[in-house]
Amino acid sequence: MSPPVFLAEPGRLTADQVVLDGPEGRHAATVRRLRPGERVDLTDGAGLLAECIVTAAGRDALTLEVLARHRTERPEPRLVVVQALPKGDRGELAVELMTEVGVDEIVPWAADRCVTRWRPERREKALGRWRATAREAAKQARRSWLPEVADLADTARVADRLAGAAAGAVLHEEATEPLSGLCPPTAGELVVVVGPEGGITPEELEAFAAAGGRPFRLGPTVLRTSTAGVAAAALLLGATGRW
């Protein structure tokens, strides 16, 4: 079984002995009940992973000895999924699944036909839940690079991301070209847009097409918006060689 992964501040991982405290240390010591002699991995979330062994366990902290360090380069191309806001808690589900497979950035999108709306008074709280979900899923998946969850984007901002991408794909059930036919770039950003349950409006499709976003059909069935992103990501990660 692989050792558990916890987040640590970058500066701490350069020392031969690390004290894991705060929320991460509390979770390791009181929830996971890790004890001296057990293996633990620490990551700064930016490519550095330290293999450690527990040398002492306190009430809310662990003392760890660093056995080895590994630096992982940022994966290329960078996979960005623009996710229209799903209903209920399906947004967190989508974030969790996409993080587990390896998506590098998730952009929440307030599409015209989204039922869910992040009102100004609840936007930061909702965004915080998405970011917390991504962080915990990245640890569960033992990722050394944590995904970024961007601020809520409108359609104009999504079009800007497509215009600046090395390649852009817009998932649409009426598209004739399969996503498997997309030739992915070897570097830069590959941006995939996932629409809401009610579909992408003609005006949104027009704006995305003008920005270089090509429409693609994911498959013969229509997936929920909360699962379409992870299916597209898996296909593209295989096509890029990252899987």
3-state secondary structure 178-211: EHHHCCCCCCCEEEEEECCCCCCCHHHHHHHHHC
Strand order in 214-216's β-sheet? Answer: 148-149, 105-109, 78-84, 189-194, 167-171, 214-216
What is the rounded CA–CA span in Å between residue 113 and residue 85?
9
**If we measure between CA atoms, which residue out of 104, 69, 134 comes closest to residue 237?**
104
pLDDT band at 18 (very low <50, low <70, confident <90, very high): very high
Mean pLDDT, residues 168-187 taken together: 94
What is the average pLDDT across 145-162? 97
Give the pair of three-digit tokens for residue 6.
């916890």
Say if residue 118's pLDDT is above 90. Answer: yes
> Is the separation of the CB atoms in 91 and 81 below 8 Å?
no
Q: Which residues contact 204 (CB under 8 A, 6 or more apart)?
A: 111, 112, 155, 195
- The upper half-sphere exposure of residue 61, i.e. CA atoms within 13 Å in the direction of its Cβ, equals 8
pLDDT tens digit string along 47-103?
999 999 999 998 899 999 999 999 999 999 999 999 999 998 899 999 999 999 999
Structural domains for the chain: 5-71 (2.40.240.20), 78-240 (3.40.1280.10)
Mean pLDDT of the chain: 94
Query: What span, in angstroms and rounded, lies between the C-alpha atoms of 184 and 143?
Result: 23
CA 26 from chain centre, in angstroms, equals: 25
List CB contacts of 94: < 8 A, sequence separation 6 or more.
Answer: 83, 86, 106, 225, 226, 227, 229, 230
Contacts of 235 (CB under 8 A, 6+ apart): 179, 180, 218
